[in-house]
Amino acid sequence: MDATRIVAIRHGETAWNVDTRIQGHLDIPLNDTGLWQARQVARALAGEPVATVYTSDLQRAHATAQAVAHSTGAPLVTHTGLRERSFGHFQGRTFAEIETELPEDALRWRKRDPQYTPDGGESLTTLRDRIERTVTALASAHAGEQIVMVAHGGVLDVLYRLATRQDLQAPRTWQLANAAINRLLWTPDGLTLIGWADTQHLDDAARDETHT
């Protein structure tokens, strides 16, 4: 079976990203920088063959994906399996507020306890299983083709771990930049990492060029 090439993209920046406020399943829009980032990543991918652009239904991802679909001419398909992890009662709080108001929960979260589930949310294990199941379903339908998946930081983190065979508790040493281009291959044996955190299209020269 031919491999499926995947371009994985985290949505553009939101005001809550700047404030380090947990978004989870809350539907927060892109800020002005995020809208610019969406246009830039769309421009960077404009010349590439893309069979389908898949996106989380949350608007920060969907708006980013719309720009990519427009620039590539690929159809846009929404899939709730690409949503961010649900953080339950953490959602709407900043990291500092969680540390102050929920210190015991914050400790288990910092330790990346795979089974820890914020009230009303998902555990890391549940998230990983959801993402692996979703990627398998989407990628298996596109053997020999390239697809784009626009999602969230937690989703991209899981994709990296699956591709590099790292467990959920391994310390994160890789970037999850907004609107970066990340490349993977999928076969029935799983994911392989090809390239990660390409942000050339977001550098200062790119910003100066588009703001003149």
Residues with active-site annotation: 11, 84
Rounded CA separation 82/131 (Å): 7
Long-range contacts of residues 196-200, Cβ cutoff 8 Å, at least 24 apart: 196/160, 200/44
The partner residues of 30 in beta bridges, in order of sequence, read 14
In order, the DSSP letters of 37-100 are: HHHHHHHHHTTS--SEEEE-SSHHHHHHHHHHHHHHT--EEE-GGGPPPP-GGGTT-BHHHHHH
Q: Is 136 exposed, middle or buried (0-12, 13-18, 19+ CB in 10 A)?
A: middle
Contacts of 17 (CB under 8 A, 6+ apart): 23, 34, 178
